Amino acid sequence: MRPDTPLPWINYLGSEEFFGIVSNTAAGYSFFRDARLRRLTRYRYNNAPLDLGGRYLYVRDDETGDYWSPSSQPTRGALDEYRCRHGLGYTVIGSQRDRIEVETLYLVPLGQTLELWRTRVVNQRPEPARLSLFGAVEFCLWDAADDATNFQRNLSVGEVEIEDGVVFHTSEYRERRNHFAYFACSGPVVGFDTQREAFLGPYRGWDRPVAVEEGRCRGSVAHGWAPCGVQHVRVELDPCESREVVFLLGYAENPPEAKFDPPGSGRVDKRRVRPVLERYLEPRSAEIALDELRTRWGELLAALQVRTPSVHADRMVNVWNQYQCMVTFNLSRSASLFESGVGRGMGFRDSNQDLLGFVHLVPERARARILDLAATQLPSGGAYHQYQPLTKRGNDAIGSGFNDDPLWLILAVAAYAKETGDLSILQEPVPYDGRPGTETPLYEHLRRALGYTLDRLGPHGLPLIGRADWNDCLNLNCFSETPGESFQTAANREGGAAESIFIGGLFALAARELAGIARRLGDPEQAELAEAAGRRIADAVRRHGWDGEWFRRAYDYDGAPVGAAENEEGRIYVEPQGMCVLGGIGLDDGLAARALASVRTHLATPHGIVLLQPAYSRYRVELGEISSYPPGYKENGGVFCHTNPWIMIAESLLGDGDAAFDYYLRINPSAREDLSDVHRCEPYVYAQMIAGKDAPTHGEAKNSWLTGAAAWNLVAVTQWILGIRPDFDGLRVDPCLPAEWDGFAAERRFRGALYRILVRKPPGARARASCLLVDGERVEGTLVPPAPAGSTVDVVAELVPVESELPAGTGEQPVPLPG
């Protein structure tokens, strides 16, 4: 293995409060809860080399003076061997140079607000080795945005305390903060530094610190400038001897009224931290913490395990795709190598979709998230585009009036109800705009979400797009001419007629979901209202949204079609082809099949399905940000991985498992590993975008990790291709597989019971399930009724060949409640 992957390939540490990003060279940063407001270590974005700023470790041979970084960065010296293993919540980086073997395990123990770097040094030489180890972090002055800009203040406020060999970062603790960070080491510590320039030496960088070069720290105490934490340890090893050293970066808070010890002394009260240090500087603690993490992840992932003929499907579904879903659920779009951690809050639309791939893992957390999201909804049924996780209030910083936003809440609630069977969530009192006293049951929020669309229909009876819909960059009311102006917040023109066919499809889907919920709540009247509204919009889509060979995308401010054959560029868009079919539009009159054929002809590439064709070659003021990207990138014709699974699902609805799985593999990260020189991003997580065919770098991925592609791909492959799909009244097993497969096996935890599923299929044929064997009993259809919690259920599906397509939507009609 080599450390110079095409781009830094990262992992995430932590899953509750303390988080870190760690790359394959140990670069990245750590934060407590909020990547902007409680940033613990400093990171320089857009640096050269790219991932500089991290968990620095230096090894020095005290005989020869030779020194290096065992994770390659920041010295980038030659390594005789190198390996990096990213695991679930932990990372191990090991290397060898000159027969000194160093392996470091990085992790955040469950329930703790600290990270450990447990380093094991082994002397493979035939003679004794005298070594120094330096561990170093550069502290961030808490608010990452301010830290990177406000130098007149920040270069003077840095403070530290040093006690018993532990470095405490205490900037601003003297005044209004009651939290601090600390950096410690299991020792034996022979020196420390806390002033960056003292450690590095003048005009030097992290690649060549003078203290490492000379093998001696300065014992510097930071006053202002750039506080850092450096711990120096000496290790003497006989041949074959090894030693473990633990470095610990922690975060702690004191009650505001008891900050100092002794009271009034101005010195940080460290009484809470001492027992933590004692426990976690013990090398065995890291091993125990790792075991606990493994157990935890084992339990989580046991909710869904599959064995299919495809190693790429297995790898992604069983581990990495679910893991990515956890990360996106936790962090939304805040902190990655492409999201700076200072800008975006939690997206309303994004978080609702993230939940679709997460709800089976920890349903209780999904429930709490739904209630948080709904509490930011506006009385009109509309939504803020984003909210701040710390305050849970909606924020207008990124604008509002994205007219698709509220509909995603219905999808999220339906997914939760289907997964858990818990309808009580619909009765939860939830406020509007975070204002106490405005509570209504969540159910009413969903009705208002539908109502919001119905109150905003345009001249064709189609939903008005507002500022934008799912495609943030299709800004039909914006007309921005000012350089640098944000398309998300620019004042929009009033009175336009811009309509979205995509929202039409999404509305049809959401209306069906709400009807399903209403039926089960014993509210058939509401169910019929929702269904009627869904039919009405679907009708408008059929009449005014069909272009002849595919669904149009929108109508612009002046009522001209977007995504139509008559357009010179942007003739066909992917989003309405997927979402209209998901909404059930065109399934029985052939439009869906034609739309998907057009996708294949015009949009499919070996690297996935591009968002539109032809890409816009110049800026079009009437379309907005979409035409601001160079052709082939991002929304302007990139392979937007979030939209591809909609087509996979649509193909499954039409019974074409070959097409669905083929599209699945084209963007499956594991299947793209051999293309890493082209793909460049991590071959284990989805990226938001792969450059489209109009781009010179066609096939190159960007914006990995924090993307709705994670949840939707998991849904597409597990619920539609493998067909294991939670439904209101049980677990559906209705696969739509590639013809050549002979079946697969799966285990699915569902409402507390374990379903062991075996699907057998005649190879070489298209086949679907028409009945199931449930614990040996024949059940007609594809629905397994829920079993008591704690039980194990064996489900066998013998698929039977079908001539061509099945009438799509089979079995999807909500089953009326008995009585």
Among the listed ranges 105-113, 230-238, 257-265, 464-472, the one in contact with ligand GLC (CB under 6 A) is 464-472
> Which tokens is 672 given?
């793209």
Cβ atoms of residues 245 and 126 within 8 Å: no
Residue 41 lies near ligand GLC (rule: CB under 6 A): no
Residue 704 lies near ligand GLC (rule: CB under 6 A): no
Residue 635 lies near ligand GLC (rule: CB under 6 A): yes
How far apart CA 342 and CA 784 sit, in angstroms, is 46
Name the residue with the smallest CB distance to ligand GLC: 472
- Work out which of 97, 634, 672, 751 binds ligand GLC, going by CB under 6 A: 634
CA distance to 258, 334, 542, per residue, from 415 (Å): 45, 24, 27
* Closer to ligand GLC by Cβ: residue 270 or 553: 553
- Give 757-760's long-range contacts (Cβ < 8 A, gap of 24+): 757/724, 757/733, 757/795, 757/796, 757/797, 758/794, 758/795, 758/796, 758/797, 759/722, 759/723, 759/733, 759/735, 759/796, 759/797, 759/799, 760/796, 760/797, 760/798, 760/799
Is position 589 annotated as part of the catalytic site?
A: no
* Amino acid present at 172: E
Residues 393-422 that bind ligand GLC (CB under 6 A): none
Q: How far is the CB of 216 from ligand GLC (least distance, A)?
A: 48
Helix (H/G/I), strand (E/B), else coil: 427: helix
* Closer to ligand GLC by Cβ: residue 347 or 586: 347
Q: How far is the CB of 350 from ligand GLC (least distance, A)?
A: 5
Kind plus residue range of the DSSP H or E element containing 437: strand 435-441
Interface pattern 420-459 for ligand GLC (x via CB under 6 A): ----------------------------------------
Among positive and negative, which fits the CA dihedral 741, 642, 599, 654? positive
- Work out which of 259, 333, 448, 512 binds ligand GLC, going by CB under 6 A: 333
How far apart CA 600 and CA 785 sit, in angstroms, is 37
Among the listed ranges 26-34, 104-112, 119-127, 344-352, the one in contact with ligand GLC (CB under 6 A) is 344-352
526 CB-near residues (< 8 Å, 6+ apart): 447, 514, 515, 518
* Chain centre distance of CA 551: 29
Which letter does DSSP use for residue 697 in this model? T
* Closer to ligand GLC by Cβ: residue 487 or 720: 487
* Closer to ligand GLC by Cβ: residue 249 or 473: 473
* Closer to ligand GLC by Cβ: residue 652 or 703: 703
Helix-strand-coil percent breakdown of the chain, rounded to 5? 30, 30, 45
Other CB atoms within a 10 A radius of the CB of residue 815 amount to 16
Residue 350 lies near ligand GLC (rule: CB under 6 A): yes
Residues 470-509 that bind ligand GLC (CB under 6 A): 470-473, 488
Among the listed ranges 114-122, 346-354, 657-665, 710-718, the one in contact with ligand GLC (CB under 6 A) is 346-354
Q: How far is the CB of 699 from ligand GLC (least distance, A)?
A: 19
Among the listed ranges 180-188, 321-329, 468-476, 730-738, the one in contact with ligand GLC (CB under 6 A) is 468-476
Among the listed ranges 259-267, 345-353, 645-653, 669-677, the one in contact with ligand GLC (CB under 6 A) is 345-353
- Work out which of 74, 89, 345, 347 binds ligand GLC, going by CB under 6 A: 347
Among the listed ranges 35-43, 466-474, 599-607, 792-800, the one in contact with ligand GLC (CB under 6 A) is 466-474
* Closer to ligand GLC by Cβ: residue 470 or 664: 470
Q: How far is the CB of 347 from ligand GLC (least distance, A)?
A: 5
Interface pattern 681-700 for ligand GLC (x via CB under 6 A): -------x------------
For residue 483, with 0-12 CB atoms within 10 Å meaning exposed, 13-18 middle and 19 or more buried, which class applies? exposed
Give the strands of the sheet with 687-690, arranged side by side. Answer: 639-640, 687-690, 701-704
* Closer to ligand GLC by Cβ: residue 344 or 666: 344
Q: How far is the CB of 489 from ligand GLC (least distance, A)?
A: 10
Cβ atoms of residues 632 and 691 within 8 Å: yes
Phi-psi region of 412 (alpha: psi -120 to 50; beta: other; left: phi over 0): alpha
Backbone angles phi, psi at 317, to 5 degrees: -65, -45
Q: Among candidates 685, 739, 717, which has minimal Cα distance to 336? A: 685
* Closer to ligand GLC by Cβ: residue 69 or 471: 471
How far apart CA 752 and CA 731 sit, in angstroms, is 12
Residue 86 lies near ligand GLC (rule: CB under 6 A): no
Q: Among candidates 356, 365, 373, 364, which has minimal Cα distance to 321? A: 356
> Which tokens is 603 given?
């949009």
Please pick, among 143, 472, 656, 729, the residue that the annotation labels catalytic.
472
> Which tokens is 377 given?
């909804």
Which letter does DSSP use for residue 715 in this model? I
Q: Which residues are catalytic, by number?
A: 472
Q: Which residues bind ligand GLC (CB under 6 A)?
A: 333, 347, 349-350, 470-473, 488, 625, 634-635, 642, 688, 707-708
